[in-house]
């Protein structure tokens, strides 16, 4: 799954005849692979890459591996939980550039829930918590973040469905990377899908 997001801002200084343009980019790409070795237990692996101008992240890579447990899965609903270790490597966009990237081990906890109602409405909620196992540098915040993705998907007919989702993130150490960064981030999505 790759999620690009771009934001542009243009400012005018009429007194001096100057135009200032800024463009903030945010992209996230991830791939996961799960292997069931028992009926309800599975080995989960995930890799991801992220770029976020608002937090001065030029590149951030994560690789995690752990165990997952499927509490139940039916045609109507499912719930699973994952826990594992994660390796983080971050390249900050600073001037002058840092001598080496920011790397640290962490833990990853995730939960996924979905439910389909009689009307055909699908509700889902995914959440993920990451926390560094390494102590923060003096003056820095604890490295942890919580990300959630909650949405509704409603079939309209002929393979077309409408969807609405809200992605929310709280990144505790965001201001260590950019003093002006917001720790909270919310993205609203409204769209249509077609399946054949």
| Model pLDDT for residues 148-166, shown as the tens digit of each residue | 999 999 988 888 999 999 9
| Model pLDDT for residues 6-49, shown as the tens digit of each residue | 555 555 566 666 666 666 677 888 899 999 999 999 999 999 99
The two three-digit tokens of residue 52, written as one number: 């976020």
Please check the confidence at residue 109 and state whether its pLDDT lies above 80.
yes
- What is the predicted pLDDT for the residue at 39? 93
* Domains and their CATH numbers in the chain: 27-194 (2.40.160.40)
Please check the confidence at residue 100 and state whether its pLDDT lies above 80.
no
| Model pLDDT for residues 54-63, shown as the tens digit of each residue | 777 788 899 9
Could you write out the DSSP letters of every residue in 102-133? EEEEEEEEEEEEEEE-TTS-EEEEEEEEEEES
Percent of the chain past pLDDT 90, that is, above it, reads 47
Sequence-ordered list of residues with C-beta below 8 angstroms from that of 103, at least 6 positions apart, any chain: 87, 88, 89, 90
- What is the predicted pLDDT for the residue at 52? 79
Question: If DSSP codes are grouped into helix, strand and coil, which group holds residue 54?
Answer: helix
Confidence class for position 171, pLDDT limits 50, 70, 90: confident
- What is the predicted pLDDT for the residue at 95? 60
Question: What is the pLDDT of the chain when averaged over all its residues?
Answer: 85
DSSP structure class, residue 101: -
Quick check: 111 and 96 in contact, CB under 8 A?
Answer: no
Position with higher pLDDT, 85 vs 194: 85
């Amino acid at each position: 799954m790759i999620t690009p997001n771009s934001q542009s801002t243009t400012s005018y200084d009429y007194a001096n005849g100057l135009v200032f343009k800024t463009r903030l980019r945010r992209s996230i790409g991830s791939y996961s692979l799960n292997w069931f070795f028992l009926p309800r237990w599975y080995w989960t692996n995930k890799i991801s890459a992220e770029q976020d101008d608002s937090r001065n992240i030029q590149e951030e890579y994560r690789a995690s591996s752990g165990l997952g447990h499927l509490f139940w899965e039916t045609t109507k609903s499912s719930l699973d939980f994952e826990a594992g270790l994660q390796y983080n490597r971050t390249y900050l966009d600073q001037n002058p550039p840092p001598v080496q990237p920011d790397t640290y081990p962490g833990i990853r906890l995730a939960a996924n829930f979905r439910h389909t109602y009689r009307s055909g409405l699908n509700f889902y909620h995914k959440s993920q918590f990451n926390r560094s196992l390494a102590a923060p540098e003096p003056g820095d915040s604890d490295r942890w973040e919580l990300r959630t993705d909650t949405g509704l998907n409603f079939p309209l007919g002929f393979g077309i469905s409408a969807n609405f989702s809200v992605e929310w993130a709280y990144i505790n150490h965001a201001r260590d990377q950019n003093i002006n960064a917001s720790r909270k981030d919310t993205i609203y999505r409204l769209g249509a899908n077609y399946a054949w």
